[in-house]
Structure 1
Amino acid sequence: MEFDDVQVAGEKNYPKRDEIPIQYGTAGFRTKGNRLEHVIYRMGVLAAIRSACKNGAAIGVMITASHNPEEDNGVKLMDPMGEMLGPEWEKYASDVANVPSNELGSVFQTLVKTLGVTSLQNSLVVFARDTRPSSPVLAEALEAGIKAAGAQFQNFGLLTTPQLHYIVRCINTNGQYGKPTEEGYFEKLTEAFIKLRNMRKMKKMKTLESYTSCLYVDAANGIGAQKVPILQSKLGELLKISLVSDGSGRLNHECGADFVKVQQKPPTGVTLVPGQRWASFDGDVDRIVYYFSGVSDNQFHLLDGDKIATLVAGYLKDLVLETGLPLNLGLVQTAYANGSSTNYITKTLKVPVACVPTGVKHLHHKAQEFDIGVYFEANGHGTTLVSDSSYELLQNATKDTAKSDQQREACDLLLSVIDLINQTVGDAISDLLLVEMILATYDWDVEQWNKAYTDLPNRQLKVKVKDRSVIQTTDAERKAATPPGLQSAIDETVAKYVSGRSFVRPSGTEDVVRVYAEADSQASADELANEVAVLVYRMAGGIGEEPQL
């Protein structure tokens, strides 16, 4: 197999434009959209090679930068079950992206020889893009790379990131997970949602039909603005959705899940009416956070990934108990999880909790160790994984006459809940339907949900530094290993605050160090975050102005 054509086409149409290194991380590649044409061309070739290594299984490629500003873009590859690339292939991606144009062919030639690949003709790459202005041009670059490699491809056009994850898994399971189309995606989720409504109706519990007060959704002016109307059309009066940030403004600009989570306020221009139920997606619809204005205090209240995780874990725990099956349920968090949520999960729900480094791949991997593993980042990205053996056990139990009618019904109900969940990746649409179903089942409004436990006030800050790799962490990113003396200085600062906790970590998507702090009051959390930010600035080579209270 020769890669002369790949190199010639790459040099001619997609030459490497600068010498600034770019690394493939948890979120794939992300940078300014105008820097990515040569990178994405090369990823088309690499995806074809990955498919060949997987005996022709479909490999997904998504062009998006998620919650990043509109001028940014990115690309990430998806393995056959819709999961993310492993560390070894992340390295291959980084190496290929950074090689000089005139060495591209030889690098690919060496790679296929190392991997034992002899042909790419049966390789299949499926791809999609978000609504960023740079995405169509980048999609053309990707397609050119796939064609240069001689592989097969299918362009799904405009999709949410979770939809492409779903489609990849459907293709590679020959439709067992669902129909490999956008229509199949919506059919699976909405049919499960409607079935759950009817099952709850039979049990004479609160029905979803009576839970039709409007849900307001901020689509971050992204791809979700195109997909929510499709969802609404399939649900009709069952769930009324009012859409804002509907694509008429700039993507992720002062709106969206990341803005609401970090700023702890609604999207700019939105006035919350007390008691209304609000949710925000991010630009590619893999994150969701809920929020509302309190009826009694008229204050902003955020229901982030921690709140969603505890709601889901509590509901699933009750349901697992009803089945009578020995299913091991666990919840996975990162250091960003609010301390109050961890206490509530372990002491009140009595569900095991594991903590892992930030990044979906770490959460996803750890969640697979449970029969049913719930994972959510505080930013609102998360889902639930169910092992194949547990799914089979549930299926068999629905036909087991030795079990009570209640146990069989609970098993059938849990199977429908699993169908409502996109197990491939965090999915704001799937998570929205799951939350709405649980709230209806419990007969809870958002205020009742929020009262389950009270978050410790917290604050997140960013510190610009010369080199973010100066910060190295340990203990699932909860402790700074370098530079020397930073962690002891943080510990001394934290000790001054009631219920204080703080950690720092280098960003995986931006050239900054992220600071997180929580304490018993918002003022204390703000002060603690700023003090730690100053420590980072002084000890890790900060640039620009020193952080100030």
Structure 2
Amino acid sequence: MSRQYFGTDGIRGCTNKDPMTADVAMRVGQAAGAYFKRGLHRHRVLIGKDTRLSGYMVESALMAGFTSVGMDVVLVGPLPTPGVALLTRSMRADLGVMISASHNPFSDNGIKLFGPNGYKLSEEEEKAIEEAIDQPPLLAAPADIGRARRIDDAQGRYIHAVKSSFPESLRLDKLRLVLDCANGAAYQVAPTVLWELGAEVITLGVAPNGLNINDHCGSTDPSALQKKVLETRADLGIALDGDADRVIIVDEKGEIVDGDQIMALIATSAQKRNLLKGNTTVATVMSNLGLERYLSKLGIQLLRTQVGDRHVVEAMRAGGYTVGGEQSGHIILSYHTTTGDGLVAALQVLADLVQSDKKASELLHVFDPFPQLLKNVRYSSGQPLEDESVCEAISEAEESLKGKGRLLIRKSGTEPLIRVMAEAEDPDLVHQIVDHICETVRRAA
């Protein structure tokens, strides 16, 4: 069955265009609500969102859908995606929903679903819900229609859980930190966590207006953070994305530290503390070869998955592994969370920074990465990767990289983009290959 609604991370698209319309959101609520109504208890769904203007519309539509099939709704307002996952489990909800398009611009929105265990739904569960979206809904009897209420302490519960992931014996008193919340879901909770742990916190991206989420800020554009770190002589900069499930670090020299370096540091620390189950770290095919070689020297296996934090989590659960993530900054620590949590990952870095008595630039340059280049080619229609000229260019590139590096080409699961990535010890070869394939794809598209 072709997937009309669900992509690599829930349902996502431009607001008021299919599938991100109020009508579809209501039908998703009806389909998901009916699917998770199991047993005789009163059923409950928890709904959170980021700061996009369209969140009001999608929230109301979902609420109508869920209540119409007899499910009670708990609204928590703006809260990071990992907070929704956490509260879904701790409040014994049957289902959790996060309304967010993560790092995408404000014009997009999305619907992420979590099961009662706090994990994102499996592909089989998404398929079952997808099949029901276009079917007549199983509406409740008038007396069984669900109720809705808002709770005021959701942020406090999440703040407490995040702080619990930080060693009780440590404080951040001596650190000056710059925090960029991307005008997104963590704009209130993240500064509070760092301040309560004792840090001096300088904030960016904490004035959401519905339209400025991820707008020249956050983990996908840390240039303002880099500038502010240097300007204020901060010890470290932290950039979250719109729903705060990913993090990028900036050291005291203004240099960007990506998810691979963060994973390397956390995996090293976890191994020392006997928290690295199976001596394995899970990452995607996008992670740098330098990470793989570094971990190998420590006796740590790097298990690669498809792109997408859900695939990382699935591999971690299947193998019982505890540390995984993506180069983009999704870091999953199963001894703390069920999904990527940018704030929890940042606290693990800060704990090591406090204990090491090193500068961030020393601590976070864990390995020397292979030269790697990623470029995106936007297309409007068709299947450019099936074009004969593109296939030929890819074949030639793979031959020239044989034994020297890697080539990865894939369609984005959330945007009409072809992603072209190559890495090798020779940076000139990397640029030559990526530029040639991108130009060939553009012509074919």
For 1:471 and 1:316, the matched residues in 2 are separated by 40
Instruction: State whether structure 2 residue 42 is matched by structure 1 residue 122.
Output: yes
For 1:519 and 1:176, the matched residues in 2 are separated by 41
Once the two structures are superposed, residues 270-329 of structure 1 have per-residue CA deviations (whole angstroms, 9 ceiling, x without a partner) of: 4735774112100110010112353xxxxx5321111111111101111118xxxx9523
Please point out which of 15, 20, 35 is paired with 1:50: 35
Q: 1:292 to 1:230 in 2, by over 3 A?
A: closer
Please point out which of 156, 169, 172 is paired with 2:89: 169
Q: Give the TM-score normalised by the residue count of structure 2.
A: 0.77
Structure-2 residue corresponding to 1:490: 397
Once the two structures are superposed, residues 123-145 of structure 1 have per-residue CA deviations (whole angstroms, 9 ceiling, x without a partner) of: 32211111101111111111111
Please point out which of 439, 442, 445 is paired with 1:537: 442
Does the Cα contact within 8 Å between 1:222 and 1:283 map onto a contact in 2?
yes
Instruction: State whether structure 2 residue 280 is matched by structure 1 residue 359.
Output: no
RMSD over aligned CA atoms reads: 3.2
Structure-2 residue corresponding to 1:113: none
Q: 1:503 to 1:251 in 2, by over 3 A?
A: same
Higher RCO structure (Cα 8 Å, ≥6 apart): 2
Instruction: State whether structure 2 residue 341 is matched by structure 1 residue 433.
Output: no
User: Residue 255 of structure 2 aligns to a residue in which SS?
Assistant: strand
Larger Rg: 1
Instruction: State whether structure 2 residue 13 is matched by structure 1 residue 40.
Output: no
Structure-2 residue corresponding to 1:334: 284
Instruction: State whether structure 2 residue 28 is matched by structure 1 residue 28.
Output: no
Alpha-carbon distance, 1:520 to partner: 3.8
For 1:309 and 1:234, the matched residues in 2 are separated by 25
Q: How does 1:364-403 map to 2 (within 5 A)?
A: 364-385=313-334
User: Residue 258 of structure 1 aligns to a residue in which SS?
Assistant: coil
Once the two structures are superposed, residues 485-524 of structure 1 have per-residue CA deviations (whole angstroms, 9 ceiling, x without a partner) of: 45412214546xx954321100000011111123446665
User: Residue 257 of structure 1 aligns to a residue in which SS?
Assistant: coil
Does the Cα contact within 8 Å between 1:334 and 1:357 map onto a contact in 2?
yes
Q: 1:363 to 1:157 in 2, by over 3 A?
A: same
Q: 1:458 to 1:484 in 2, by over 3 A?
A: closer
User: Residue 256 of structure 1 aligns to a residue in which SS?
Assistant: coil
Instruction: State whether structure 2 residue 378 is matched by structure 1 residue 464.
Output: yes
Structure-2 residue corresponding to 1:453: 367
Q: 1:458 to 1:259 in 2, by over 3 A?
A: farther
Please point out which of 65, 68, 75 is paired with 1:155: 75
Q: 1:523 to 1:223 in 2, by over 3 A?
A: farther
Does the Cα contact within 8 Å between 1:305 and 1:376 map onto a contact in 2?
yes
Structure-2 residue corresponding to 1:272: 230
Number of residue-to-residue matches in the alignment: 383
Q: How does 1:46-85 map to 2 (within 5 A)?
A: 46-53=31-38, 55=39
Please point out which of 230, 255, 269 is paired with 1:301: 255
For 2:52 and 2:279, the matched residues in 1 are separated by 39
Structure-1 residue corresponding to 2:243: 284
For 1:494 and 1:130, the matched residues in 2 are separated by 42
Q: Which has the higher helix share?
A: 1
Structure-2 residue corresponding to 1:183: 156
Once the two structures are superposed, residues 365-394 of structure 1 have per-residue CA deviations (whole angstroms, 9 ceiling, x without a partner) of: 111234442111100012122xxxxxxxxx
Q: How does 1:104-123 map to 2 (within 5 A)?
A: 122-123=42-43
Q: How does 1:226-241 map to 2 (within 5 A)?
A: 226-235=188-197, 237=198, 239-241=199-201
Does the Cα contact within 8 Å between 1:51 and 1:125 map onto a contact in 2?
no
Bigger Cα displacement from structure 2, 245-254 vs 149-158? 245-254
The one-letter code of the counterpart of 1:247 is A
For 2:435 and 2:348, the matched residues in 1 are separated by 37
The one-letter code of the counterpart of 2:8 is T
Q: Which runs of 5+ in 2 are unaligned?
A: 95-115, 119-150
Q: Give the TM-score normalised by the residue count of structure 1.
A: 0.63
